[in-house]
């Protein structure tokens, strides 16, 4: 039986930059292995660690289109949607959709990280 989810790995062109983004967003730390510069982990926050791995020829997902599907996205619980949006944008995220402003039943906003992966900030 599987004991636990060890990490979620995100493909990207620049694993150091992406790991730094998520470390700052989540209040974690970047953990690099000097023998493997193509794999950088983000640890030290509540939840499953994230790993960022270099992929030659990486192409960012095309959200919401499906020419280059997202395949995975991350959801993060927040207490202050406006404040966390400002912080994410200052760290290098971009807004894809403010879903909460489009649908009255929605409590999330969709962003792209610096490598183009969609993620949501969800008010809880």
Question: Per residue in 18-41, is it b (16+ CB within 10 Å) or e — as a string?
Answer: bbbbbbbbbebebeeeeeeeebbb
Q: How far apart are CA 18 and CA 26, in angstroms?
A: 12
| pTM of the predicted model as reported, rounded to 2 decimal places | 0.87
pLDDT the model gives residue 6: 85
The pLDDT of residue 27: 96
The tens place of each residue's pLDDT in the chain, 124 residues long, gives: 767 888 999 999 999 999 999 999 999 999 999 999 999 999 999 999 999 999 999 999 988 888 888 888 899 999 999 999 999 999 999 999 999 999 989 999 999 999 999 999 999 8
Rounded distance between C-alpha atoms, residue 26 and residue 81, angstroms: 14
Report pLDDT for 40: 97
List the one residue out of 114, 97, 84, 93 whose CA is nearest residue 12: 114
């Amino acid at each position: 039986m599987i004991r636990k989810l060890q990490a979620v790995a995100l493909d990207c062109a620049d694993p150091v930059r992406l790991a730094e983004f998520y470390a700052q967003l989540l209040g974690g730390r970047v953990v690099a292995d000097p023998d493997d510069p193509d794999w950088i982990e983000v640890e030290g926050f509540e939840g499953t660690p994230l790993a960022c791995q270099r992929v030659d020829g990486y192409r960012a997902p095309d959200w919401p289109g499906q020419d280059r599907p997202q395949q995975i996205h991350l959801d993060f619980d927040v207490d202050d949607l406006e404040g966390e949006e400002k912080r994410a944008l200052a760290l290098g995220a971009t807004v894809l959709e403010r879903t909460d402003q489009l649908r009255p039943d929605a409590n999330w906003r969709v962003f792209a990280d610096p490598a183009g992966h969609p993620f949501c900030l969800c008010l809880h």
